[in-house]
Amino acid sequence: MKIALLGYGVEGASAYRYLSSRYPEAEFEVYDNAETPKYEIPDGVAFRGGVTSFHDIDADMVMRTPAIPPYTVTSRGKISSVTEEFFEACPVPIIGITGTKGKGTTASLIAAMLEKAGIKTWLVGNIGLSSLDILDEVTAHDAEGKSGVVVYELSSFQLWDMKKSPHVAIVLMIEPEHLNVHESFDDYVRAKSNIVKYQTPEDIAIYFADNDVSATIAKSSAGVKIPYHVEDGEALMIDGKEIARRDDILLYGEHNVGNVQAAMLAAWQFTQDAQAIRAAIKEFHGLPHRLEKVAEKSGILYINDSFSSAPPATVAALRAFKQPKIVIMGGYDRGLDFTDTARQIVAEPDVKKALLLGQTKHRIAAGFKECDWRSYEVLEDDFAAAVQRAHELADPGDVIILSPGCASFDMFKNFAERGDTFKELVSEL
């Protein structure tokens, strides 16, 4: 048997461990965009680097990792993905979470709620373990007659060619994203829609009713549909019962109130322990690089929102704070439109200055010019200088927010490196 692994990062290495244990006599080949592998290739496995098209792969099984678009793959053999393989084999219920932003936060909070209620929970996806690495543990746990739940953060890349949907699907806000990889926004939405496409009447779709795209996706589910809104009141309710209150939430921003409500509804399908759910909310400080408080110095608050890689995330970050704000924006150009974002930022009160850098800085500036708004500066691509400039402009009571609204690849390896650099620079001020 010949097995081809497409992509060899975290997921590809996990796929090899899983498949080699099940097919010990199989011949493996690794195909990757990179000229050299990120991880050590196992002995006896052929590596083919610098591959940009994966058509006509000569293999009995092809395992696609999320980084490889399915439209670039053809083969005489079965084509699957790491996510598909896990869904086919997982014996316990799966809660799947998708959306443009908030997936990791919501997934992590659901896991915390279920664990607080005494339910064995596995958190997988970009913010958790690689799913195939925990499949044997999940299977053994289930075989002993013990209950458990998998909480799976699902990106469009993981959902792209899925033929199975989770028992509980959560559709958070959907906005344009990854348009440098997806052929169009419609293609992106089609990929996201697979989270509910194969649900049965016994399944559940939880969706953000204030977002038209999320609501449209949920309508295609055959399961029970449960909408949620960002409510104005202080009480967070389920079925008329107060579960928690707004002031229990430690996270910044109205959008995170919605994420908490989605998490509550998902956890409620497995436990009605309101005390445990509320305790998890009160203890949850969020994830690194998502509106993360870095420091407060001389009355100036520094916020790291490096995970913000799409324009709507920057708008949400600015809306999370009432005090005067200085925002550092810009980064890798993925073809996103900043016109509407510029209008929304201009409409926000107390935005003192936008500091722009990276590949997108001139496009963002053009959006501000259209709005006849001049409170921005186009900087050289010197990240340290941008942080220093924000510090110089800030007064006590202000907030300095790194919320790029763009990916990081023009200046950094990833969003985490960008955020860690920001935190280090703030510590040196």
Q: From the centroid of its chain, how far is CA 371? A: 31
3-state secondary structure of 371: coil
Mean pLDDT of 205-217: 96
Q: From the centroid of its chain, how far is CA 94? A: 17
Q: Residue 332 — very low, low, confident or very high, per pLDDT cuts 50/70/90?
A: very high
State yes or no: pLDDT of 421 exceeds 80: yes
User: Is the distance from CB of 102 to CB of 173 less than 8 angstroms?
Assistant: yes
CA distance 89 to 135: 8
Q: For 61-98, how does the pLDDT look when each residue is reduced to its tens digit (9 = 90+)?
A: 999 998 888 888 999 999 999 999 999 999 999 999 99
State yes or no: pLDDT of 135 exceeds 80: yes
Q: For 285-324, how does the pLDDT look when each residue is reduced to its tens digit (9 = 90+)?
A: 999 999 999 999 999 999 999 999 889 899 999 999 999 9
Question: What b/e readout covers 78-111, taking b as 16+ CB neighbours within 10 angstroms?
Answer: ebbbbbbbbbeebebbbbbbbbbbbbbbbbbbbb
Q: For 387-407, how does the pLDDT look when each residue is reduced to its tens digit (9 = 90+)?
A: 999 999 999 999 999 999 999
pLDDT at 181: 66
3-state secondary structure of 286: coil
Protein fold of 90-283: UDP-N-acetylmuramoyl-L-alanine:D-glutamate ligase (3.40.1190)
Q: Residue 175, CB half-sphere, CA atoms under 13 Å: how many?
A: 20
Query: Which phi and psi (to 5°) does residue 357 adopt?
Result: -150, 170
State yes or no: pLDDT of 131 exceeds 90: yes
Domain boundaries, the chain: 2-83, 90-283, 292-428
User: Is the distance from CB of 148 to CB of 130 less than 8 angstroms?
Assistant: no
Answer positive or negative: Cα dihedral of 334, 339, 344, 345.
Answer: positive
2-83 sits in which CATH class?
A: alpha beta
User: Is the distance from CB of 155 to CB of 97 less than 8 angstroms?
Assistant: no
CA distance 254 to 236: 13
Protein fold of 292-428: Protein-Tyrosine Phosphatase; Chain A (3.90.190)
